[in-house]
Amino acid sequence: MSNLPVQYEQGMVNVAYAEGEKGAWGQLIASTGFKATSLTIIFRLGKQGQFFDLGTGAASSEVILIPDIEASALGTISDTHTLWGSIQVPCNIAASTRIAARGQQDSGTTNGMVQVIIGGP
């Protein structure tokens, strides 16, 4: 049995201030230390109607890897509660790649947190 290399990084993503608009990209991993073949996304919400995009590439040149992850689909929460969720997906992200996320929500403004865990061969 071989050991999988694992790199763990965390970043905060602020959701958009207006209905339906994408927020700014927030860096999660500056440069992956190895080729990633597994991606686990862990997120915390403060409000219903939040979505996240995950992307790769240099700042201001991000390419969407996974669009519109509907974080609030995992359960019901009110504005006074927090919901944690996670998804795991196979991926093919080259070594030395920047990973970022950005948020949006249906209305209003609040913060959501996104963490990623990558694994590789």
As a whole-number percent, the residues of the chain with pLDDT over 70 amount to: 69
* Distance (Å, whole) CA 109 – CA 113: 13
What does pTM read for this prediction? 0.82
* Distance (Å, whole) CA 71 – CA 48: 8
* Distance (Å, whole) CA 57 – CA 60: 8
The correct CATH number of 6-119 out of 3.40.50, 2.40.50, 2.60.120, 2.60.40 is 2.60.120
Q: Where are the domains of the chain?
A: 6-119
What pLDDT digit, counting tens, does each position of 74-89 carry? 555 555 556 677 888 9
